[in-house]
C-alpha cells in the first residue's frame, strides 16, 4: 500500500474544511494511506515572501525537516502551500549557501530523500487514472466544467516542475475519467486576484467575474480547482444571478465514487452547488433520488 505524508495547511482547517474532508475520504476510498504531518506549521503563504524572503523559506523548510524524517513523499492539497514548500525544497537542492543558512535556522541536515508533490499529481500519476476509473460508481455524465489551476500550481515552472504552465491537462483528464465533460478554455492558469482579495477587492472582483464570464462563454456550468485561495475568492467575488459553483476536484471524485459523506460538503460552499447537481440525474445525491 502506498503511503504519503500529508500537509493540510491552514486553509484546509478553516475556510476549506470541505476540501480536507474530501481529500481524506478519497484517499481512504482508494486505499492509500495518508498520514498528517505532526506539529506542522504555517508555510507563510501568501504574505511571508513579501515581508521576509528568508522567513518565507524557513517556515516550509521546518516542515520539510519533519517530513524527511518519516521518509515518505509530502503531498500538499493547497496550491499556495505546494508552491512555498517546493520553492524551499528547490533552494535547498540548488543553493549550497542558502541550504546551510536554512539548516542553521531550522536545526536540521537536509537529505533530499523525499519529494514535494501536489495533490493533483499524486492522484492522477501516483495513484493513476485507471485506478481512479475503477472506483467510479456514479459517473458525472452531464456535468460540464472547466479546470482552473490558478497561478501557483504551475509557476514558476523551473521550481514547480509540474505540467505545462500554459496548457496543463491533468485536471481535464481526471474530470473525463470521472465521466464529466472537461470544457476547453484559455484561462486555466489566469490569475483570479486571490492575493488582492483584501487589499484591492475591486480588482479581485473584476478578475473573478472575467473568469466566470469566460467559463460560461465556453459552455461550462461549473469551475473545478485545487487551490483553496482561488476557490474562496471565486465564490466570494462573483456577482450577478447566474453564479458558477466552484468545486474542489476531490469533491467531484468523492461524488463519482458514491461516497455518502459527499452530501455534507455542499453546504459549506458560498455558492450552493446542489441546484446544479439536482439538474443532472446521475449527480443527484442518493437521498434525493426519484423516479424520472
* 94 and 199 together in one domain: no
Q: How far apart are CA 198 and CA 99, in angstroms?
A: 34
Q: Which residues pair with 218 in a beta bridge?
A: none
Cβ neighbourhood burial of 50 (10 Å; 0-12, 13-18, 19+): exposed
* 146 and 246 together in one domain: yes
In a domain, 92, yes or no: yes
* 32 and 149 together in one domain: no
Q: How far apart are CA 261 and CA 255, in angstroms?
A: 9
In a domain, 129, yes or no: no
* 108 and 183 together in one domain: no
Q: Write out the residue range of the structural domain in which residue 71 sits.
A: 3-118
| pTM > 0.75 | yes
In a domain, 267, yes or no: yes
* 64 and 196 together in one domain: no
In a domain, 131, yes or no: no
pLDDT of res. 276: 96
In a domain, 236, yes or no: yes
Residue with cell 500550481: 153
Between the alpha carbon of residue 38 and those of residues 29, 42, 64, the distances in Å are 23, 12, 12
Q: How far apart are CA 270 and CA 11, in angstroms?
A: 15
The number of distinct structural domains making up the chain is 2
In a domain, 22, yes or no: yes
pLDDT of res. 136: 98
Q: Are 63 and 106 in contact (CB under 8 A)?
A: no
- Distance between start and end Cα atoms, the chain: 41
* 157 and 219 together in one domain: yes
In a domain, 128, yes or no: no
Kind and range of the H or E run holding 173: helix 170-177
* 164 and 259 together in one domain: yes
Q: Percent of the chain having pLDDT more than 90?
A: 88
pLDDT tens digits, one per residue of 195-247: 887 778 899 999 999 999 999 999 999 999 999 999 999 999 999 888 999 99
Domain of 70, CATH number, reads 1.20.1050.140
pLDDT reading at 284 higher than 80: no
* 150 and 250 together in one domain: yes
In a domain, 95, yes or no: yes
As given in the structure block, the three cell numbers for residue 279 are: 439538474
Amino acid at each position: 500500500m502506498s503511503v504519503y505524508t500529508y500537509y493540510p495547511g491552514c486553509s484546509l482547517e478553516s475556510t476549506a474544511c470541505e476540501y480536507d474532508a474530501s481529500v481524506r475520504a478519497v484517499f481512504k476510498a482508494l486505499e492509500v494511506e495518508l498520514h498528517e504531518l505532526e506539529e506542522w506549521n504555517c508555510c507563510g503563504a501568501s504574505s511571508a515572501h513579501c515581508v521576509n524572503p528568508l522567513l518565507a523559506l524557513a517556515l516550509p523548510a521546518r516542515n520539510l525537516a519533519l517530513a524527511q524524517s518519516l521518509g515518505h513523499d509530502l503531498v500538499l492539497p493547497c496550491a499556495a502551500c505546494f508552491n512555498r514548500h517546493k520553492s524551499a525544497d528547490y533552494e535547498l537542492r540548488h543553493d549550497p549557501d542558502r541550504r546551510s543558512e536554512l539548516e542553521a535556522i531550522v536545526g536540521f541536515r537536509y537529505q533530499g530523500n523525499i519529494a514535494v508533490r501536489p495533490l493533483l499529481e499524486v492522484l492522477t500519476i501516483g495513484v493513476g487514472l485507471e485506478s481512479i476509473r475503477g472506483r467510479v460508481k456514479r459517473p458525472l455524465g452531464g456535468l460540464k466544467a472547466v479546470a482552473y489551476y490558478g497561478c501557483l500550481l504551475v509557476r514558476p515552472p523551473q521550481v514547480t516542475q509540474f505540467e505545462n504552465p500554459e496548457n496543463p491537462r491533468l485536471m481535464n483528464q481526471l474530470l473525463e475519467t470521472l465521466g464529466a465533460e472537461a470544457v476547453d478554455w484559455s484561462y486555466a492558469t489566469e490569475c483570479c486576484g486571490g492575493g488582492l482579495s483584501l487589499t484591492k477587492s475591486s480588482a479581485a472582483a473584476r478578475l473573478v467575474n472575467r473568469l466566470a464570464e469566460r467559463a460560461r462563454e465556453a459552455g461550462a456550468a461549473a469551475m473545478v480547482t485545487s487551490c483553496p485561495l482561488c476557490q474562496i475568492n471565486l465564490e466570494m467575488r462573483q456577482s450577478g444571478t447566474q453564479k458558477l459553483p466552484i468545486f474542489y476536484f476531490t469533491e467531484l471524485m468523492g461524488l463519482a465514487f458514491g461516497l455518502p459523506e459527499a452530501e455534507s460538503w455542499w453546504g459549506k460552499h458560498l455558492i450552493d452547488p446542489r441546484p446544479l447537481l439536482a439538474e443532472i440525474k446521475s449527480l443527484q445525491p442518493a437521498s434525493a433520488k426519484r423516479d424520472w
